[in-house]
A = this chain, B = another copy of it.
Amino acid sequence: MALDLDVGLERVVAAATRLSDVQGEHGRLTIAGFPAEEVAPRATFEEMVYLLWNDHLPNSEQLAEFQARLAGYRSIPEHTVTLLRSAAERQTNPMDALRMGLSSLDVVADDPWEQAASIVSQTATIVAAFLRLRAGEDPVSPDPELSHAVDFLRMVGGEVPDPARVRALETYLNTVSDHGLNASTFAARVIVATESDLVSAITGAVGALKGPLHGGAPGPALDMVFEIAELERAEPYLRSKLERGERLMGFGHRVYKVRDPRADILAQATLRLYAGGAGDQHLYEMATGVEQVALRLLEEYKPGRNLQTNVEYYTALLLHCLGFSSDDFTPIFAVGRVAGWLAHCQEQLETGRLIRPSCQYIGEHDRAWVPRSDRGW
């Protein structure tokens, strides 16, 4: 049987999923049956996780039970804190620290849904603890009376956050909670398909998410706005970038050929956040101003390409307003995406199938051993 080599697997459908549907040509994203813009701004993060895992919204009793269950798992083991402390002292990259922290969690064999609940909770705690430790402060212990998003912001900042910030964070986490079969999700599925465990699968997914080709790194979009600094500099700055043939970070997407629906959701969430007085108003005005100039120039330099603001642009603005620095955007992305990774793992386990493609051998055959003393090359 002769098979074609397909290095990127673009022509392959590797999973059937009910978790999300990315319709790039139409700018539509469905998450667990809902248009993303219908569910992301309304659900609490716990509701979103429940929805992904159970394919329906929880009633009040189910939600209360689920929220308590997640909250009960929020503490991380002492050995994980020790590991993160030492990583912070070595100024470890936050994605490496997250990989170390997650990988250090013990595997609980009996019930994969319990393990999944603990991983969702502890991913947030690991990120928060590492940010504290890196700033030279002790981690803040979880408060299981608080919701996931409230407690995450409290464990990072030390204070119970106001509701506007919580809503903005939940909208963000929900928006990025799942997005088809991207590379990190596929990595999780490949690992768990061997019937390995969820800690191993999520650790692998975090490793894949870190890669620059994965996409979804929102830091550079904001860095560009910082570099422009004053709105009147936007046009010459962007024009010179486009003249040099450079990409504008935060615009255009591999899959979305019209506006990324996630960008709209996050643009509105960000508007509400800054309108409520949070964050650096000058930066917000700068960023929205730069966006308008960028869209106008992209239409001028790349007519018909319809390059639109992507999810990274407003992710950067939203997370910056919540007090996070560019380095931390990808770990916080993981705090949301871990919900989808775990849902995909469960779907994969239900298939009972190993993922094991073939390879084509292009090397030699029948080489003969040469004793060490005869290797005169």
Please give the residue numbers on chain A whose beta carbons come within 8 Å of chain B beta carbons, in ascending order. Answer: 3-21, 30, 32-35, 38-39, 42, 55-60, 63, 79, 82-83, 86-87, 90, 92-93, 96, 99-100, 102-104, 106-107, 180-184, 186-187, 190-197, 199-201, 203-204, 206-214, 351, 353-370, 372-373, 375-377
CB distance B99 to A103 under 8 Å? yes
CB distance B356 to A17 under 8 Å? no
CB distance B59 to A83 under 8 Å? no
Question: In the complex this chain forms, how many copies of it are found?
Answer: 2
- Residue on B with the closest CB to A44? B372
Which residue in B364, B372, B373 is a CB contact (below 8 Å) of A33? B364
Report the minimal beta-carbon distance from A333 to chain B, rounded to whole angstroms.
13
- Bound CA span A199–B93, Å: 13
For A15, the chain B residues whose CB sits under 8 A away are 5, 7, 357, 359-360
- Bound CA span A3–B16, Å: 12
For A363, the chain B residues whose CB sits under 8 A away are 17-21, 30, 32-33, 55
Q: A33-B364, A196-B211 are in contact. List 6 more A-B contacts (CB 8 A).
A: A9-B14, A30-B364, A32-B367, A57-B375, A63-B372, A79-B90
- Bound CA span A52–B208, Å: 24
CB distance B204 to A191 under 8 Å? yes
CB distance B210 to A357 under 8 Å? no
In the complex with contacts A8-B353, A83-B83, A103-B104, A13-B358 CB distance below 8 A: yes
4 closest residue pairs by CB, A with B: A194-B211, A200-B207, A18-B363, A204-B204
For A356, the chain B residues whose CB sits under 8 A away are 8-10, 181-183, 186
- Residue on B with the closest CB to A2? B13
Q: List 21 A-B contacts (CB under 8 A).
A: A3-B13, A7-B15, A9-B357, A12-B358, A13-B358, A14-B357, A15-B357, A21-B361, A30-B365, A38-B368, A38-B369, A79-B82, A79-B87, A180-B359, A183-B191, A186-B190, A186-B356, A194-B208, A196-B211, A200-B208, A200-B210
